Amino acid sequence: MKLTEFVVPDAIIPDLAVDTKDAAIRAMVSSLRQAGKIADEHEENIVAAIMKREELGSTGIGRGVAVPHTKHPSVDSLVATVAVCNDGLDFASLDGEDVYILFLLVSPPDRPGDHLRGLETITRHLKNDDFCRFLRQSRTQEDIVELLAEADENQI
């Protein structure tokens, strides 16, 4: 599975400026709604589902990265967005460090394999120090889309 198959370019936030985990998740879900991937009437339910998942344990996986995610029946296929928080954000990460890179993933409940493959694809790339460094240096949606495509082609 490739990042460019499920990350929505128009939903990417290259300059996320928030100061709470809740605000970050709301902004990212809103960006998916604005990009036409989530219906208005489901936005709050998706935010609530992601926050409920966060109560089980932070998706701040360490190394400045978080991957909030949920399954929701309102989406037909796996959708995701990326945000870069230049100032860092307390996400209650496993290593106690601030988060700078966020991937938010929403998938249909009847496609658990897609959900797992999406998470695996994201985490595989996030283990690459160069990918993370370049992502944090990206300033526009276009920069991030180009970086995702390069990562898909193993050029990073």
User: Which pTM was predicted?
Assistant: 0.94
Residues acting as catalytic residues: 69
How confident is the model over 80-109, as a mean pLDDT? 96
pLDDT tens by residue, 10-24: 999 999 999 999 999
Ordered DSSP codes for 61-87? EETTEE--EEE-TT-SS-EEEEEEEEE
Write the CA distances from 139 to 31, 37, 130, 134, 136, integer angstroms: 17, 23, 16, 10, 8
pLDDT of residue 148: 97
Write out the H or E segment, with its range, that includes residue 37.
none
Q: Report helix, strand or coil for 101.
A: strand
Q: Report helix, strand or coil for 109.
A: coil
State the DSSP code for 4.
G
pLDDT tens by residue, 29-81: 999 999 999 999 999 999 999 999 999 999 999 999 999 999 999 999 999 99
Burial zone of 137 (CB within 10 Å; 0-12 exposed, 13-18 middle, 19+ buried): exposed
- Helix, strand, coil in percent for the chain, rounding step 5: 45, 20, 35
CA 26 to mean position of chain CA atoms: 12
Q: Which residues, at least 6 apart from 1, have a Cβ–Cβ distance to it below 8 Å?
A: 114, 117, 118, 120, 121
Beta partners for residue 103, in sequence order: 82
Residue carrying structure tokens 């128009």: 10
